[in-house]
Structure 1
Amino acid sequence: MNLQQVAPDPRQERADDRAQDRRLVADATRELARRTRFPVAFGGLVENGVARMTAFHGTHTDALAGLSVRAERGLGGRAMVELRPRMTGDYRTARQITHDYDVYILGEGIGTLIAAPVIVDGVARGVLYGGAWGRWDIGGVAAAPAVQVADDLAKELARRDDARRRLAQANAPVVDSLSAVQREELRESYAELRAISKSIDDAAIRERLAEVERRLAALSGIAEAPRTEPIPQVRLSPREIDVLARAGLGETNAQIGALLGLREATVKAYLSAAMAKLDASTRHAAVAQARKWGLLP
């Protein structure tokens, strides 16, 4: 087991996920422009309750940069609330929407605009826009392909969400799904295997038993849990692990000695050495620290 291994930073993983999602939005805006023939297309996903525009295609200016759309506000905000596309052939005079974002839309010179919500599991995850300079007769000819592109994006986002959930479940510590009784049985089995391996002379069999021990230890999932700091380099001897594993089951020094074929004083010496390495003042604290650092299941 590599004690220096540190789990990936969750913040970096979230940043990577956002970057992947934004690439999908960029692809969708280009596809919307291709299918609808709108010269301008832009879009973004909801982050912290606001749809932040991150992808732009065919713009003549930087006027749309920084556009963030809130629910119910503007054409896109209304589309996200109503969960259906909204459109206008004359944005400047449109009365059915608020004009919170005129500085962005009119700044780019857009007169015709369509907004198609990206709906995942009945919730608007974002919005895609198609626009043109001047007035167009939009109708269903442009609306249908815009909605299809938004639907395709929604399906891809849903697939990614499902994949991320499955990955998170696969990486979740197994110990979380074990009952207290099952955890104790796992630890007893681990300790018993270590005791058995000491009585076997065949090196090949002992190595196979050691592999089973490592797999049992890995079932706890502790070594894979997110860490805020690197694990100290602590190396316990095989005998120190043996006595700690049995101490973790609540056995006395005398019982441990009888099971491992050691004198009680020798057991005490191994425990003291392990406690010193783990910077623990008691045997119970040493066991807890060893489990925290993935040295015991």
Structure 2
Amino acid sequence: MPEKVNGIVADAIRRVRTSSGVPLAFAGVVTGPTTLRLQHFVGQHVGALSGLSVDVGHGLGGKVVALNRLLAVDDYLRTPQITHRYNTLIEREGLRAVMAAPVIVDRSPVAVIYGAMHTPTPIGGRMLDALASEARAVEQEIVAARARMEHAAEGENEMRDRMTAAFARLRDLAGTVDDARIAEELEAITRVLIAGEEPAEEPTVELTGREQDVLSLAALGYPNARIAETLGITVHTVKGYMKDAMRKLGASSRLEAVVTARRSGLLP
């Protein structure tokens, strides 16, 4: 999501420069509870501010983050409204009148968008409205992008659960058929299900078929009793297979065992 926020903010400052008419528009993304990092610039600048980490509460942007509201100064170098920790860089950049608006998502600032001029002059309402409008647009874009990512993740999780369920059913079926050729074909299909992607980690352990069966059902959220009923074994036996699988995978919980098995390409 941070990369997405950076992209949205970078697009916004291009619009700010056009809509407000300022010679320089720039932006910073909040990278922690006390830091705003300036990294996007459009317009006339010499790079003095590029990469600057602004402390919350200091300078114009730091104060905007602290107060969560739009601020403007007619002459950055002389205004009593802010601290002047960054005056040397501002002067090197030749900036005087500056406005800044926070981008707020879930009541927390995630970025600050600036508009700046090279002369000390009052910033008019039209410029402030343009900046505020873009900040609100960025907020909406970030929220929408996050919703799309969450929806996509839900779809991926649902598909993975379906694959895991199919894997478990095929393995169970393979153990019940008498025809060796059909059993081999079913086993081959299960191998296809766990070979769709390169494992994130090289397999360092080998699980038995029953250990894979138990883990695949645990991955679907089945409790031990349901796993036992599905596989036709006792709960005590299920616990034994799970304990052995966790030991082999170096896992301290069922969830960790499932995650490690998936990363190693042992489960879909």
Residues 215-258 of structure 1 show CA distances to partners (whole Å, capped at 9, x for unaligned) of 9x76xxx998984x323697x9xxx84x7668999xxxxxxxxx
Asked if the contact 2:103–2:109 (Cα under 8 Å) also holds between the matched residues in 1, the reply is: yes
Taking only aligned residues, the RMSD between alpha carbons, in angstroms, comes to 4.3
CA distance in 1, matches of 2:88, 2:199: 45
After superposition, the Cα gap between the structure-2 partners of 1:174 and 1:132, relative to the gap in structure 1 and judged at 3 Å, is: same
Compare CA radii of gyration and give the structure with the larger one: 1
Count of residue pairs brought into register by the alignment: 229
Q: Which amino acid aligns with 1:62?
A: G
Question: Which deviates the most, 283-292 or 156-165?
Answer: 283-292
Asked if the contact 1:197–1:206 (Cα under 8 Å) also holds between the matched residues in 2, the reply is: no
CA distance in 2, matches of 1:68, 1:244: 51
**Does 1:90 pair with 2:62?**
no
CA distance in 1, matches of 2:94, 2:129: 24
Unaligned runs of 5+ in 1: 1-16, 178-182, 250-258, 260-282
CA distance in 2, matches of 1:152, 1:244: 51
- Partner-residue secondary structure (3-state), 1:87: strand
CA distance in 2, matches of 1:61, 1:140: 28
Q: Give matches, 1:263-278, under 5 Å.
A: none
**Percent identity between the aligned chains?**
29
- Partner-residue secondary structure (3-state), 1:110: coil
Give TM-score, length-normalised by structure 2: 0.67
CA distance in 2, matches of 1:225, 1:80: 43
After superposition, the Cα gap between the structure-2 partners of 1:288 and 1:188, relative to the gap in structure 1 and judged at 3 Å, is: farther
Of 181, 203, 210, the residue aligned with 1:231 is: 203
Asked if the contact 1:244–1:287 (Cα under 8 Å) also holds between the matched residues in 2, the reply is: no
Give TM-score, length-normalised by structure 1: 0.61
After superposition, the Cα gap between the structure-2 partners of 1:165 and 1:93, relative to the gap in structure 1 and judged at 3 Å, is: same
Residue 198 of structure 1 deviates from its aligned partner by: 3.3
| Larger RCO of the pair (alpha carbons < 8 Å, separation 6+) | 1
Residues 276-296 of structure 1 show CA distances to partners (whole Å, capped at 9, x for unaligned) of xxxxxxx94699569734546
Cross-structure match for 1:192 = 172
Asked if the contact 2:95–2:119 (Cα under 8 Å) also holds between the matched residues in 1, the reply is: yes
Residue 153 of structure 1 deviates from its aligned partner by: 1.3
Of 25, 39, 53, the residue aligned with 1:54 is: 39
Cross-structure match for 1:32 = 16
Residue 21 of structure 1 deviates from its aligned partner by: 2.9
Asked if the contact 1:223–1:294 (Cα under 8 Å) also holds between the matched residues in 2, the reply is: no
- Partner-residue secondary structure (3-state), 1:106: helix
**Does 1:65 pair with 2:47?**
no
CA distance in 2, matches of 1:92, 1:28: 26
CA distance in 2, matches of 1:286, 1:122: 41
